[in-house]
Amino acid sequence: MGKVLRIGHRGAAGHAPENTLASIEKAISFGADLVEVDVQRTSDGHLVIIHDKRVDRTTNGAGSVSGMSLRALRELDAGVGQRVPTVEEVLQTAHGRVGLILELKAKGLAEQVCKTVQLSGFTGQVIYASFLHDEVRAIREVDSQAMTMALFGRLPHDPVMAAQNAKATHIGFSYITVTQSMIEICHQRGLVAFAYTVNDRQDIETVMSLGVDGIVSDFPDRL
Ligand code: G3P
Ligand code: CA
């Protein structure tokens, strides 16, 4: 078995406010191989890092991200004085230090996210991920060489075929659903398999033993 990649979830969300630069810094300090963050778009077309469609849970504001300008969003506190970062800021912070999983949380982001990465000069590993498999496929159309991950919550009848239909290189399973035989099938079909979001130490050991290629955790220091 190769090295299992250690992936910080929303930065290192167990240690710092999720999806902030402070959280990414934490993940880097733990030696994570990759940092996963969530991408949405503001009303004036800026790509920002925030998980929910609304700002309410993770900031001191209220309202939908897509209905708010970047300027208004940047006035909010995302925890311990952190601001909601832009994708450009995250690329700058990670440059030369850690790879990124950029999870596309809304429809129609693929081309802009991909172009933003290309223009940034970021040289590390980037994996574009989404539960929205049309977005995963759209990334492939913009960049034929891109690494892309089809994410699954509840599993369809044939997740491997679904990932391949999305032209993905990677497949992301909830750790609750993943099995050793599923991982073996992924590997036979040339797909890299990650499991999310594994926080409990016993669960981490169990998931590791299944042969996954990477584990996403709020606590990358536990991996
Ligand atoms: O890496 C996949 C994982 O981040 C998906 O779930 O809800 O945390 O974005 P969620
Ligand atoms: Ca995510």
Burial of 45 (0-12, 13-18, 19+ CB in 10 A): exposed
With a cut of 80, say whether residue 1 has pLDDT above it.
Answer: no
Taking the CA of residue 216 as reference, the ligand 1 atom at the shortest distance is 1
Cβ proximity of 49 and 90 under 8 Å: yes
What residues are paired with 41 via a beta bridge? 47
Task: Return the number of other C-beta atoms located less than 10 Å from residue 108's C-beta.
Answer: 12
| pTM to 2 decimal places | 0.98
CA distance 136 to 141: 9
- The alpha carbon of 4 is separated from its chain's Cα centroid by a whole number of angstroms, namely 17
Nearest ligand (C-alpha, residue 152): 1
CB-based contact 47:116 (threshold 8 Å): yes
CA–CA distance from 113 to each of 49, 53, 145, 195, 218 (Å)?
Answer: 11, 17, 15, 23, 24
Q: 222 alpha carbon to ligand 2 midpoint, in Å?
A: 19
Q: Which residue minimizes the CA distance to atom 2 of ligand 1?
A: 196
Residue 90 pLDDT: 98
pLDDT at 2: 74
Measure the CA–CA gap between 189 and 30, rounded to whole angstroms.
Answer: 32
- Residue range 136-147: mean pLDDT, rounded: 98
User: Which residue out of 23, 38, 199 has the highest number of ligand 1 atoms within 8 Å of its CB and is therefore the one to mutate?
Assistant: 38
Tokens of 145: 């060489």
DSSP letter (8 states) at residue 64: B
User: What are the pLDDT digits (tens) for 71-99?
Assistant: 999 999 999 999 999 999 999 999 999 99
pLDDT in tens, 95-137: 999 999 999 999 999 999 999 999 999 999 999 999 999 999 9
Q: Mapping DSSP to helix (H, G, I), strand (E, B) and coil, where does residue 127 land?
A: strand
| Tokens of residue 152, six digits | 């699954």
Give residue 188's pLDDT: 98
Mutation choice for ligand 1 from 5, 7, 9, 102, CB with most ligand atoms inside 8 A: 9
Average pLDDT over residues 149-169: 98
Q: Which ligand approaches the C-alpha of residue 197 most closely?
A: 1
Assess whether pLDDT exceeds 90 at residue 17: yes
Q: Which residue has tokens 């990124």?
A: 100
User: Phi first, then psi: what are they for 206, rounded to 5°?
Assistant: -60, -50
Residue 19 has pLDDT above 90, yes or no: yes
- Shortest CA distance to 195 belongs to which of 203, 160, 88? 203
Kind and range of the H or E run holding 140 = helix 133-142
CB crowding 169-198: b at 16 or more within 10 Å, else e: bbbbbebeebeeebbebbeeeebbbbbbbb
Nearest ligand 1 atom to the CA of 7 is 1
* Digit-coded pLDDT (tens) for 164-212: 999 999 999 999 999 999 999 999 999 999 999 999 999 999 999 999 9
